Amino acid sequence: MKRFFITGTDTGVGKTLVGGGIARVLARKGTAVGVLKPFETGCVREGRELAPADALFLKNMSECPEPIATICPYRMEHPLAPYVAARLENISVDLSVIRTVYEDMSSRYELILVEGAGGLLVPLDETHLTLHLIQMLDLPLIVVSRLSLGTINHTLLTVGQARENGIRVAGIIFNQLTPETGFAETSNPEVVGNFTDVPVLGVVPYLSAEQQADKDFLADCIQKHVNLQALGLS
C-alpha cells in the first residue's frame, strides 16, 4: 500500500498533470487508485455547483469511483489561496474532515495520491499551512518543479522547508511547461541533484493540451520519463 502527497514549488507547475499521469499508469495495471484534492480554488460555477477541474482530472485519470465531493471536500470559486477564498465565500475549513476522508479511503485503495494547492506554505485556514496537512496525514512528499530558470532556488527551498518540518521527501519530478529549452532547462535537474540527496525522479517533457488530455499518452510519457520504481510503483 502506497500513499503520497504531491506538492509544487509554486502554483501552475504541473502537479495535477504529474499526479494524474502516475494515477493512470497504476490504474491501467489494475491497481485500485484513490485520489484526493482537498482544496481547489478557481472552480467554475455550473448552476449551483462548482466544478473543480483538477479534481475531476484526477478522478478521470485514476478511475476513482468516489464522488467528487469526497475527492475534493473544499471547492471555492475565487482563484486565491484556500484560506483567503474561504473567507470571501464564508466557508468554514476543518482539516479533520480531510483526515476522516483520507482514513476512510486508506482502507480501500492500494495507492492514494493527495494533491495540495500550490506549495507548502499556502495557508488553508487561520492557523494551518499545507505542510501542516501533510504532517497530519503523515505522508511522504513528491515535489513537482517547473524546469525553467529559478527552479533551483524554489526546489531547494521546498525540500528544505519540508525537512525542517519532519516531512520525508520521496523525490523530485521536473515538468517542462513550454516547448522552448535553454541551458537552464538542461542543467537544472543535475544542479538540484548535486545540492540535495533527494532523488530526482525524472523530467516530464512539454506536452500540448491535446497530449495532456489523452489518458494513455500521458501515462506512457510518465512511465517513460519518471522513475516510478524508485517510489515503489513499478
Q: Provide the pLDDT for residue 164.
A: 97
Q: What residue numbers bound the domain in which 199 lies? A: 2-231
The tens digit of pLDDT for each residue in 131-141 reads 999 999 999 99
How far is the C-alpha of 39 from the C-alpha of 29, rounded, in Å? Answer: 28
The tens digit of pLDDT for each residue in 2-51 reads 999 999 999 999 999 999 999 999 999 999 999 999 999 999 999 889 99
Q: Are 155 and 145 in contact (CB under 8 A)?
A: yes
- For residue 109, give the CATH number of its domain: 3.40.50.300
User: 205, 171, 200, 170: which is closest to 188 by C-alpha?
Assistant: 200
Question: Hunting for cell 517513460 — which residue is that?
Answer: 224
Orientation angle between helical segments 183-194 and 151-164, nearest 10 degrees: 30
User: 1, 12, 15: which is closest to 142 by C-alpha?
Assistant: 15
The tens digit of pLDDT for each residue in 183-218 reads 999 999 999 999 999 999 999 999 999 999 999 999
**What are 219's three cell numbers?**
501515462
How far is the C-alpha of 121 from the C-alpha of 210, rounded, in Å? Answer: 32
Tally of domains within the chain: 1
Residues recognised as catalytic: 37
pTM of the model: 0.96
234 pLDDT above the threshold of 80: no
The tens digit of pLDDT for each residue in 70-125 reads 999 999 999 999 999 999 999 999 999 999 999 999 999 999 999 999 999 999 99
Looking at residue 229, what DSSP letter applies? G
